[in-house]
Every structure is written in structure tokens, then in C-alpha cells.
């Protein structure tokens, strides 16, 4: 264990940036964020079991690799996607990264014991723990996505409000309008006085800029959230429909947060509010289903055409 953690800094899966230890933001304590995975299973019937390997070879560092908890469980839950050749390539890349950056997590005897205890439980226990961790991560990312969209939405709302106020000022400046034939005062759309096209385009450009900023801020969180949903599906049974519901709700929020109705009468933001509520409800339902609690059944799957990731503003 000491040798493994002395030559690795983060998860061995290429592209995964999760460190082997992470800091508790509330206490400042470093906590274990990884498990040691076997390239070839340590017992017959396990993933990638190699009957020709000796016990000593099986226990050697060459057959072991530190991974984040989600990926350690995933490679064993779906071994058909992770053959030994792939895992050995990961291990070589992990070692090469260590030699390049000289970053690692030297651990003491007590920490090595903790790693062994958490890594070499039953496969089912590991998958359950990884699934629960991924579901918790989904909840965190969903909450973060809502807060980012709320923050970015203010800029778009301010720009749209400026556009409505400009329309109102022009209407007030011209005064009431009357029908030339009947002399009756015009009402509704007929009484609307449109500001100059240049001013309208400036206001609309400000709204579009805000919507693009919202997309830029939200997309990395959406990517992380979708990755955690993939982990949940890979290491758990029965949560797929709830994961699909969270995915649809995420896409709905992305669409709502990057669109705006510039109709002067559309002063509310109901589409975005409904999308926020939908994602929050979907995330809570997934958590309840993971814990075995009574969870609201996910709605039927929509057709692919009904779910678009961030449609462009009209």
C-alpha cells in the first residue's frame, strides 16, 4: 500500500482528476478518496481472474492500482469494458505522471491499514459505496448547477428588464395614440410604440451576451454531473430510470437558462423556475431511491427530439 500511494497522486483512469485524498472543506482534514483495485481479481470468479497468476504475483504492486472510489467500483462492476491490457496501460500512465510531476501521497502504517480495509471488502460492498458516493456527487452538482444558473440568470433578467423599460419609456414619451378614422384611443399591441431598431438590437445583444455567459458557466458542471450519472448506472442496479430523469431535468434547465422570451408581456421567468424545481425534485428522488426509501416514480421517457441541450435563444 505504501509503495502504491508513494507513486501516485490521483485516480489512475486517464482523464479523471480526482486526487487519492481530498480535503474536508469544513474541518480541513484530509480524507481517503480512493480504493486500490486489482488488475486481475484476487479470487477465482472475480473480474479478470487469471488462474495462472501466483498468489505473490496477485498481491504485488504490479497487479494493484489506486483509483478513485467510483472508478475502482466501475471497473469491477463492468469488467467487460476494462480488460487487463487497458488497466495496465492506465497503471503505466499513472506511474509516468508521478515521475513527471513528483506528486504522491506517502501514507503511514495506520493509513495503509485503512486503505486495505476499504479496498478489499466484498465487490458488492465496494459497488454499493461507489454508487452512494456518486449519487451524493450528483446531488452536489445539481445544487451547484441551480446556484450558477440563478446567479447568471440575474444578468439576463437585468438586460431584459432594461429592454422592457425602454419600450415603456418610448410609449410614455409619445403619449396616447388614437385611431385616425374613429378617434378612439388605441389599446394593447396597437398602442405599442417601438423604439429605434438600433436601441432594440443593443438590448437584445446584452441579453444574448448574458445567456452565452450562463452556458459557459454551466457546461463544466453539466459535464461533471453527467459523468457521475454514468457511474451510478454502471455500479448500481435499478437506478437507471431515476438517473434518466435527472439527465432530462439537467438538459431542461440548460435550455431554460440559456433562452429568453423577449416579448414585453413575458415579465415572469416561469420556464426557468419550473426547470429549477424539476432538477431539484429529480435529484431528491434519485437520492431517495438509492437509500431504498419511497421515491416518486420517474415519468415516462420522452422522445429524443423533446430533449435538447441548451437550444439557442430565439
Task: Locate the DSSP E strands across the chain.
Answer: 21-23, 30-32, 34-38, 64-68
Q: What is the 3-state secondary structure (H, E, C) of 277-311?
A: HHHHHHHHHHHHHHCCCCCCCCCCCCCHHHCCCCC
Element (H, E) at 98: helix 84-101
**Residuewise pLDDT in 10s, the chain (314 residues):** 888 999 999 999 999 989 999 887 777 788 888 989 999 988 887 889 999 999 899 989 999 999 998 888 888 878 888 999 999 999 999 999 999 988 888 888 888 888 887 777 655 555 666 677 778 889 999 999 999 999 998 888 887 777 777 766 666 655 555 556 666 765 655 555 566 777 777 777 888 898 999 999 999 999 989 988 987 887 777 888 999 999 999 999 999 999 887 654 455 678 899 999 999 999 999 988 888 777 666 666 654 444 333 333 33
Cell 504475483 -> residue: 57
The structural domains of the chain, with segments of one domain joined by +, span 2-121, 130-306
Place of cell 429529480: 282
Concatenating the DSSP letter of every residue in 217-252 gives HHHHHHHHHHHHHHHHHHH-SS-HHHHHHHHHHHHH
Question: What is the pTM (predicted TM-score) of this model?
Answer: 0.54
Amino acid at each position: 500500500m505504501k509503495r502504491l500511494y508513494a507513486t501516485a497522486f490521483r485516480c489512475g483512469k486517464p482523464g479523471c482528476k480526482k486526487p487519492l485524498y481530498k480535503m474536508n472543506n469544513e474541518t480541513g482534514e484530509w480524507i481517503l478518496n480512493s480504493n486500490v483495485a486489482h488488475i486481475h481479481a484476487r479470487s477465482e470468479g472475480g473480474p479478470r481472474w487469471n488462474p495462472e497468476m501466483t498468489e505473490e504475483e496477485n498481491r504485488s504492486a504490479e497487479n494493484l492500482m489506486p483509483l478513485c472510489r467510483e472508478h475502482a467500483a466501475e471497473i469491477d462492476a463492468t469488467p467487460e469494458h476494462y480488460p487487463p491490457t487497458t488497466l495496465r496501460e492506465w497503471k503505466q500512465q499513472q506511474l509516468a505522471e508521478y515521475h513527471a510531476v513528483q506528486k504522491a501521497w506517502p501514507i503511514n502504517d495506520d493509513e495503509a491499514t485503512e486503505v486495505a480495509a476499504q479496498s478489499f471488502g466484498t465487490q458488492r460492498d465496494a459497488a454499493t459505496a461507489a454508487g452512494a458516493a456518486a449519487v451524493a456527487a450528483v446531488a452536489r452538482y445539481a445544487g451547484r448547477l441551480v446556484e450558477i444558473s440563478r446567479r447568471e440568470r440575474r444578468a439576463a433578467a437585468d438586460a431584459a428588464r432594461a429592454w422592457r423599460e425602454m419600450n415603456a419609456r418610448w410609449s410614455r414619451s409619445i403619449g396616447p395614440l388614437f385611431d385616425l378614422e374613429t378617434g378612439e384611443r388605441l389599446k394593447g399591441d396597437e398602442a405599442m410604440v417601438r423604439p429605434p431598431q438600433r436601441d432594440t438590437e443593443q438590448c437584445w445583444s446584452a441579453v444574448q451576451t448574458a445567456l452565452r455567459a450562463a452556458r459557459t458557466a454551466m457546461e463544466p458542471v453539466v459535464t461533471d454531473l453527467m459523468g457521475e450519472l454514468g457511474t451510478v448506472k454502471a455500479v448500481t442496479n435499478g437506478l437507471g430510470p431515476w438517473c434518466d430523469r435527472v439527465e432530462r431535468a439537467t438538459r431542461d434547465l440548460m435550455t431554460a437558462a440559456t433562452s429568453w422570451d423577449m416579448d414585453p408581456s413575458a415579465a415572469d421567468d416561469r420556464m426557468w423556475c419550473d426547470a429549477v424545481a424539476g432538477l431539484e425534485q429529480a435529484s431528491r428522488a434519485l437520492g431517495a431511491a438509492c437509500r431504498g426509501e419511497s421515491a416518486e416514480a420517474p415519468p415516462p421517457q420522452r422522445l429524443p427530439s423533446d430533449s435538447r441541450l441548451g437550444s439557442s435563444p430565439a
